[in-house]
Amino acid sequence: MSTVSPAPAGGPPPAEQHDPTASAVSLEARDGRQTGLKAIFGGGEAASLRVLIVLALIWIVFTIANDRFLTAGNLTNLTLQVAATGTISVGVVLVLLLGEIDLSVGAVSGVAGSVVGVLSVQHDWNGWLAIVAALLVGASIGLLQGSIVTWLGIPSFVITLAGLLTWQGVQLKVLGEQGTINISDPVITNLANTFLAESLSWIVAIVAIALLVGGTVLGRRRRAAADLELEPMIRLVVRLASIAIAILVAVYVVNQDRGVPVSLCILIGLVIIIDAVVTRTRYGRHVLAAGGNEEATRRAGIPTKRVKTIVFVLASTLAAAGGVLAASRLLAVNQSSGTGDVLLLAIAGPVIAGVSLFGGRGSVWAALLGALVIGSISNGMDLLAFESSVKFIVTGAVLAGAVILDALARKRRLSQGRS
């Protein structure tokens, strides 16, 4: 904004202010974030890369400690283990993006699992119907909690903490005296216990890569046609190539064992859909905006209360979906479904993978990456036959480290912004 305009009639001419400050200011802007620097996974590129490096380190350490860690069989197990928690985490990411928290997701997943079990086993419901019912229960819980949080302005921390207790009680009630229900309906059990045929898995992988490359090229063409800044070609090629190779290697490896788990496909599908919602739709933009500055968002005419309530509905629904996957994998639900460390791991995953607790920053892919990090730690320590005491301590330390990094990054941002 150097003042080169013709001096307006009224006030004194705004002086020759081709000042040095102006150029200093523009230099500063360049340091911010560069144009077209679309992150590898939609969110912050640096954050995603950091997580991948952490993941690689964890894998290296465990591979050295136990050569069974990096086998096709174990990696397939790993994906099976993370599917349920990862699905819950997808919803947690949305809530975190708002700068809120949902402590009830574990309990909601337990309730959903119980609903599926009771309806399918005790009431002979069709498996699909039972799943839909469980998801609806989750959505209703989210609507209730979200409404209370937004319309009454009660901190989400408190309401969802109350929800945690309440829904655990509901779960015990739903399960009844037996306390454990074994699920046999193939529709439900197949979710987490079947694998894509090898040929199908390759087709899916190829189609996914083709869509990714095609979409990227198309987007680049449109940007070029609109005469906008483009991402450097080398970076683009490296990014696409590494993603494609990662997909192909992953598919190849798991195909050495049982194949690509259906539950993993469900998780990745959900991540892709929710990521598209967050990064590419108006609604997602409003979620990010509300997480960044709720008052500003409200003043921009955006119905922030509705936006926030819907996030809680989505989070609880995804938690319910995670509960269904967990029930499917266990072939049963019981009184401890969704309790214990389910909640903590579902929240820790995204935070470890770079979703800010302060709202507005992070990628949905953090749900998958974070679940992989936590799942790898847990899986590796199981292989090494560590006691659960050690597992808790290590996982806790990793979480604390991630949160400290987040806080430091925020501090740096605050001191950088506003000169």
**How near is the Cβ of 339 to another protein at its closest, in Å?**
34
CB of 16 to another protein, least distance (A): 10
Question: Which tokens belong to 64?
Answer: 């050295």
* 230 near another protein, rule: CB under 8 A: no
Q: Per-residue x/- marks for another protein, 45-84, CB under 8 A?
A: ----------------------------------------
Q: Is residue 35 at the binding interface for another protein, with CB under 8 A as the rule?
A: yes
Nearest to 25 by CA among 2, 55, 50: 2
**Min separation Cβ 33 and another protein, Å:** 5
Candidates 51-59, 120-128, 179-187, 221-229 — which segment interacts with another protein by CB under 8 A? Answer: 221-229
Q: Tokens 């199908």 sit at which residue? A: 200
**Closest separation in Å from C-beta 240 to another protein:** 19
Report the DSSP beta bridge partners of residue 181: 333
Chain-centroid distance of CA 384 in Å reads 28
For residue 12, state whether it binds another protein (rule: CB under 8 A): yes
Q: State yes or no: residue 25 binds another protein (CB under 8 A).
A: yes
Q: Is the Cβ of residue 303 or residue 401 nearer to another protein in the bound state?
A: 303
Measured CA to CA in angstroms, residue 215 lies from 208, 209, 265 at distances of 10, 10, 20
Structure tokens at 341: 């460390």
Instruction: Say whether residue 182 binds another protein (CB under 8 A).
Output: no
Q: What angle do CA 240, 245, 249 make, to 5 degrees?
A: 155
Helix ranges, 36-104 (H): 45-65, 72-97
Residue with the two structure tokens 């290697």: 249
Question: Which one of the spans 51-59, 158-166, 251-259, 410-418 is the region binding another protein (CB under 8 A)?
Answer: 410-418
Quick check: 318 and 90 in contact, CB under 8 A?
yes
Question: CA-to-CA distance for 48 and 10, rounded, in angstroms?
Answer: 53
Q: Is 123 near another protein (CB under 8 A)? A: no
Give the residue carrying structure tokens 């003043």. 299
Residue closer to another protein, measured from CB, 207 or 276: 276
- Asked if 2 is part of the footprint of another protein (rule: CB under 8 A), the reply reads yes
Here's the x/- map for another protein, 258-297, by CB under 8 A: it reads as ------------------x---xxx--xx-xx-xxx-xxx
Residue list 351-390, contact with another protein (CB under 8 A):
359-361
Identity of residue 212: L
Which CB, 304 or 395, lies closer to another protein? 304
Q: Which pair of structure tokens corresponds to residue 90?
A: 């997808």
Name the packing angle between helices 233-256 and 198-225 (round to 10°).
Answer: 170
Residue of 28, 60, 200, 232 interacting with another protein (CB under 8 A):
28
Single-letter residue type at 280:
R
User: What is the dihedral sign for C-alpha 121, 125, 126, 128?
Assistant: negative
Minimum CB distance to another protein smaller for 71 or for 293: 293
Q: Does residue 152 touch another protein according to CB under 8 A?
A: no
Pairing of strands 180-182, 332-334: antiparallel
Q: Considering the rule CB under 8 A, would residue 333 count as an interface residue with another protein?
A: no
Shortest distance (Å) from residue 225 CB to another protein: 8
Residue 275's nearest CA partner among 370, 363, 367 is 363
CB of 20 to another protein, least distance (A): 8
Give the nearer residue to another protein in terms of CB position, either 86 or 359: 359
Residue 415 binding another protein, by CB under 8 A: no
Binding-residue total with another protein (CB under 8 A):
59
Q: Say if CB 398 and CB 373 are below 8 A apart.
A: yes
**What is the CA angle 75-78-83, rounded to 5?**
135
Give the footprint of another protein on this chain (CB under 8 A). 1-5, 8, 10-12, 14-15, 17, 19, 21-22, 25-26, 28-37, 222-223, 226-229, 276, 280-282, 285-286, 288-289, 291-293, 295-297, 299-302, 359-361, 413, 416-419
